[in-house]
Chains A and B, each alone.
Chain A
Amino acid sequence: MIDFPRMVKVAGVKKDGGVVVLSLAERFPSQPGQFAMLWLPEKGEKPYSFLSENEFGIAPVGELSRGLASLRKGDAVGVRGPYGRGFVLKGKRVLLVGGGCGVVPLAFLAKEAKKKGMAVTVITGAKTAALLSLHSSLASCASVFCCTDDGTKGRKGFVTDALKDALVLKHYDCVYACGPEKMLRLVAEICVKKNVPCQLSAERLMKCGLGICGQCDLDGLLVCRDGPVFEARDLLKKPSFGRTSLSASGKETVL
């Protein structure tokens, strides 16, 4: 009965840049890009990407995520999942592009790519140096390039600028990206123009996570069940991708 939250013990909680790494005492066989619904009674339930089979990376921005970030070893969290379709690794040389806490599933993907013997490059971006996350984990399996909006670390500017340059300098077999949808749309446009295969993890508000409530609609695609990872060329056909999404009431809202 995986579609009912099971209470799982917390093994540890550790801050890493802009995210808090929540380690669980159990493993969930999962692929990078898949997610689980994490539940704290009275605080809510939301989707979080796996960082490994027993870890999640959480940006403490809302009531639930702050609650998750303040858990201690031995506390319990409700888990249902894994859900969704993850990234599919292709080729020998791959480029990963993460914006903000979008780097979480990419850190999982980088480890898997390294295990397969691929050459892995990561472009990671955040508003400021203190919010760059999972740097040492990424550095252990990839060449890492940082961007910050304010220039406090790495290149000053957006990951999409770094991506354009990277694609000029080297050939990559596939680009993988996760982050805010506005950034993803730009990544998709850059890759399609350069004819580089690209997989993106889309971001929508989710409720059921089971493919029935329709809340995570992306112009007919269900992000929870059909995604969250899609091919860039498929998403570029969707007018709302990177532009609008549905609020909790179902109202179309500009991103």
Chain B
Amino acid sequence: MNPLGVSFCGSRLRNPTVLASGILGVTAAQLKRAEEGGAGAVTTKSIGPEERSGNRNPTCVALPHGLLNAMGLPSPGYEAMGEEWRQLKKMKVPVFASIYGASVDDFRRVAAYVADKKPALIELNISCPNTAEHGQAFGFEPSVAADVVEAVKEVSGRVPVSVKLTPNTHKTVAVAKACEEAGADAICAINTVSGMAINIEARKPVLSFKKGGYSGPAVKPIAVRCVYEIYEAVEIPILGVGGITTGRDAIEMMQAGASAVGIGSGVYYRGPNVFRLVCDEMREWMRGNGFASAKSLTGAAHD
């Protein structure tokens, strides 16, 4: 038996590590590379309703304890991705399709198209902090998030729907509950933490969008707290994301309540093989600490 195997929303994952949305993921070839790097599942970069170039550079910098990015949701638009979908059929691991929109109707339209391509899961990005008109506004209010979920569930058929939540509100747990009540099949937490860095010699914010989303080791405690609280509030599975770069980080996130873990910035810190490295470290820790299966880690830190 493979001790790292988990199931997530009906998909069998060879291990709990998932390439998080926005990292690599522009092309099927990059997703394939994450698969070769050991990922148990991969998430596409968020797919939008029309073609969008994203923000002007600088779009990403590294700070001493994390990455700050404002890519700005670049996307060729869902209708321009025919060839990528064909290539994605060749993937051995489940493919999660992340989508975004500027309105409930956008989400429904993109979801209807994407559901037809039969990804293992549709992830609703209602939490991107890096554009003026898309994203996290949908994740601030429980009732608004629920509207998006309901609209998508009408068109998603058998494809499970997960909702990626923002930590940039005190209502994260309430949003998670509202999404569950609206029919969401899973929660993904967290998206990046809203932040800013200024180049003091230039006397300017370094990113062209000024603000950015902070990720990497510094945000792990925020993500662990969110996942821990969401786990106590909902029954649906959680994909825990935020600052996971080692096997110990992944185990901590699972003990907080995650059924699987997303890795994004970890690709910067340890390269595209970070998934394999994290899995090796998980296996070793589990052997030494009496955990026979990754499944049994989920929620282990709760009373």
A: which residues have CB within 8 A of B? 1, 3-7, 37, 39, 41-42, 44-46, 76, 78, 80, 207-215, 217, 219-220, 222, 246-252
Contact = CB atoms under 8 A, between A and B. Distances in A.
A5 B58 contact: yes
B197 A4 contact: yes
Given A4-B206, A249-B76, A251-B76, A220 B32 contact: yes
Contacts of B52: 249
B210 to A, nearest CB: 11
B58 A215 contact: no
Contact of B26 (A1, A209, A210, A246): A246
B54 A7 contact: no
Contacts of A248: 53-54, 74
A217 B59 contact: no
Interface of B: 22-27, 29-30, 32-33, 45, 51-54, 56-64, 67, 69, 71, 74-77, 80, 83, 197, 199, 201-202, 204, 206, 208, 264-265, 267-268, 271-272
Contacts of B22: 213
A interface secondary structure, majority: loop
Given A5-B202, A45-B208, A250-B27, 17 more contacts: A1-B62, A5-B61, A5-B206, A44-B57, A44-B58, A45-B57, A78-B206, A207-B57, A208-B59, A210-B62, A212-B67, A212-B265, A213-B26, A214-B23, A215-B74, A222-B30, A247-B76
A214 B199 contact: no
14 contacts: A3-B62, A5-B61, A6-B201, A78-B199, A211-B268, A211-B271, A212-B67, A213-B69, A215-B26, A219-B29, A220-B27, A249-B54, A250-B26, A250-B76
Contact of B204 (A41, A214, A247): A41
A44 B265 contact: no
B201 A76 contact: yes
Contacts of B45: 214, 250
Contacts, number: 128
A76 B196 CA distance: 22
A42 B55 CA distance: 12
Given A5-B199, A207-B71, A217 B26 contact: yes
Contact of A212 (B24, B27, B204): B24
Contact of A4 (B23, B53, B62, B265): B62
By Cβ-Cβ distance, the 5 closest A-B pairs, closest first, are: A3-B62, A220-B29, A251-B76, A248-B53, A214-B26
A254 B237 CA distance: 42
Contact of A214 (B27, B57, B61, B67): B27
Contacts of B206: 4-5, 39, 78
A45 B206 CA distance: 10
A213 B24 CA distance: 5
Nearest to B265: A212
Given A4-B206, A246-B26, A250-B76, A208 B199 contact: no
Nearest to B60: A208
Given A7-B201, A217-B30, A249-B52, A212 B74 contact: no
Nearest to A46: B57
B69 A208 contact: yes
Contacts of A6: 201
Contacts of A44: 56-58, 208
A249 B79 CA distance: 13
A220 B71 contact: no
B271 A214 contact: no
Contacts of A246: 26-27
B52 to A, nearest CB: 6
B267 A212 contact: yes
A213 B71 contact: yes
B82 to A, nearest CB: 10
A200 B63 CA distance: 32
Contacts of A46: 57
A212 B58 CA distance: 14
